Structure 1
Amino acid sequence: MNEIKLFCPATIANLSCGFDVLGLCLETIGDEMIIRKSSEKGIRITKIIGADLPMETEKNVAGVAALAFYQEASSREAFDYGFEIEIYKNIKTGSGIGSSSASAAGAVFGINELLGCPFTRKELVTFAMKGEVVASGSEHADNVAPCLLGGVTLVRGYNPLDVIRIDSPNELFAVVLHPHIEVKTADARAVLNPMIPLKNAITQWGNVGGLIAGLYTQDYELIGRSLEDVIVEPLRKKLIPGFDETKFDAMQNGALGAGISGAGPSIFALCKGHKTAEKVAFAMSESYQIIGIPFDMHLSKINPEGVKIN
């Protein structure tokens, strides 16, 4: 195999209570990538469609992740060729649904496949994280982990990296409203308070534990009760026009819970069943039209597979 075409899915990070440790993989929206072997050693970005992103390997999320993987793979087993990467962006940059992660995860997954899979999907997370530094200034796995592994992922720790994949309940659906404004991850992190009151920390720990338990037991009511963020959302929501109203309407129409997707500006809601998800999507759309900012709506089952060959 000398060429591979990939679907690189969008993701929702944090899931309200799980800042920087929880993520979820979506099924209906994602980038496409084509990766092929090249006679020229190294990594080259040859085409980017759908976004104005740097073509230089060292400045591109996919390029940096691919280069980290390439260097490690070639140190283990010598090969005399390189790789070219074409990126077709369907996930808007700065949308809060893992645009950079899709590029980073897709790049390392594709090259790994073309090399005969010397690394597991879980091992690929480490390389994909290197690309996230370009986008946000830090290595984090809450988007790249679900993108690579599918389902819901918990990053238990980083030193060493410890990622747990959790199957999603069958009837769990995600609705995402993406306003056409950009919230840079660096700006969203800048509004956070490094000091957390103990009372809030205890509430948040309980919610994370409750959400994980709800996912494992398929207890939708417990999932809903646990989708509460008392630490990050109160500070970040001011960056998103109409957030409170949109979240309120989602909850009034049957959503289990709603919150900020990643760093924003996207607003997500989790729902039990497709019918309820459609009702919530309609309500969120109606609510946001009043704001006067254009937006996209996405409704998706939870993607159990992650990055896949098209």
Structure 2
Amino acid sequence: MKSVKAFAPATVANVSCGFDILGFAIDAMGDYVEITRKEKSGLCVVSIEDDGGKLPWEVEKNTCAVAIQAMLDDYGQQIGMDIALRKGLPLGSGMGSSAASAVAALIAANRLLGDPYERKNLLPFAIAAEKAACGAGHADNVAPSLLGGFVLVRDYHPLDVIKLHVPDGLYCTLLHPHYELKTADSRSVLRDSIPLKHSTIQSGNVAGFIAGLYQEDFELISRSMRDVIAEPYRAVLLPGFYEIREALKTAGALGMGISGSGPTLFALSQGSEKSEAIAKAAKEIYESIGLGVDVYFSSINTIGAYVLEEKE
């Protein structure tokens, strides 16, 4: 191939009780990367669209380039590639924006090389890009964007990632309010230690949530969507959080949580028919506190990133 274009979906990380270990991919939106092979060795970022001029073009800072370079270092050949990125995700939104860019780049570059890597084996390269982007190499966004569906990051040493079952009819509504919340601020409010009681509650909720996925027990999923480790501290940074959560439950949501580090919120529901009521309830709360909000509806993306186009 001379060039390959790929798409990688947005993701929701943490999923309430699964702080830093659970994530899932959504169908509604994502990033697009086209990789073109060139004669001269080395990587070059040739275009970035729809980022508002905020993303770095330097190959040592751009997540697409960092991910591809990590792959090429492992591959053992420094092949020349031009990188063109089109953002479909807002920056700093809590929807896995940097992860989607890195994953789309890896899927395209891997296909350009003839797919020498199995999909799961691309994950360490995507984690390297996440570390370059935010200083921490977490996998709870890149893993679901790459693999699709719900993903559990069981351990990092060695890396152990498990793709989980997705119940039929599980649906997601994303609420992206019109304000910025920096990841560093969301991290800064967290505690370095947690009480044993909270650890026990959180463990039970993670286990219950995963059991609910496999049993397709939506009531169990709903009961398990409780976070006692991060959400209580982060909620103070999110205007109207508790009012929105109560309104969405009344509107038919199984539960609501913070997507990643925010400010986007997510709600799960059984079927898409409740999405309109969930969106209406959220918009009313945001309007009452003087904030706009973008709403996205999505089924769960079960396949992850994929190639869109190949050119000889």
TM-score by length of 1: 0.96
Whole-angstrom distance in 2 between the partners of 1:292 and 1:309? 41
What runs of 5+ residues in structure 2 fail to find an aligned partner? none
Counterparts of 1:1-310 in structure 2, within 5 Å, are 1-51=1-51, 52-73=54-75, 75=76, 78=77, 81-310=79-308
Paired with 1:293 and 1:55, the residues of 2 have a C-alpha distance of 32
Q: Is the 8 A contact 2:202 2:227 kept in 1?
A: yes
Secondary structure in structure 2 of the residue aligned to 1:231: coil
CA-based RMSD of the aligned residues comes to 1.1
Identity of aligned residues (%): 48
Q: AA paired with 1:4?
A: V
- Give the residue type in structure 2 aligned to 1:29: M
Q: What is the distance in 2 between the residues matched to 1:33 and 1:284?
A: 33
Secondary structure in 2 matching 1:26: strand
Structure 1 unaligned residues grouped into runs of 5+: none
Secondary structure, in 3 states, of the residue corresponding to 1:23? strand
Distance in 2, Cα, partners of 1:146 & 1:36: 25
The alignment partner of 1:139 has SS state of coil
Amino acid at match of 2:72: Y
Task: After superposing the two structures, state which structure 1 stretch, 185-194 or 10-19, moved more.
Answer: 185-194
Q: Equivalents in 1 of 2:281, 2:298: separation in Å?
A: 16
2:96–2:260 contact (8 Å) kept in structure 1: yes
**Matching residue's letter, 2:2:** N
How many residues align structurally? 306
Tell me how far 1:211 sits from its aligned partner: 0.5
CA distance in 2, matches of 1:136, 1:186: 9
In structure 1, distance between residues paired with 2:193 and 2:182:
22
Distance in 1 (CA, whole Å) between partners of 2:201 and 2:166 is 23
Amino acid at match of 1:302: I
**Does the aligned pair in 2 maintain the 1:132–1:138 contact within 8 Å?**
yes
Contact 1:167 1:304 in 2 (8 A): no
Deviations 1:89-112 (A, max 9, x none): 121110000000001111111111
Q: CA deviation at 1:286?
A: 2.1
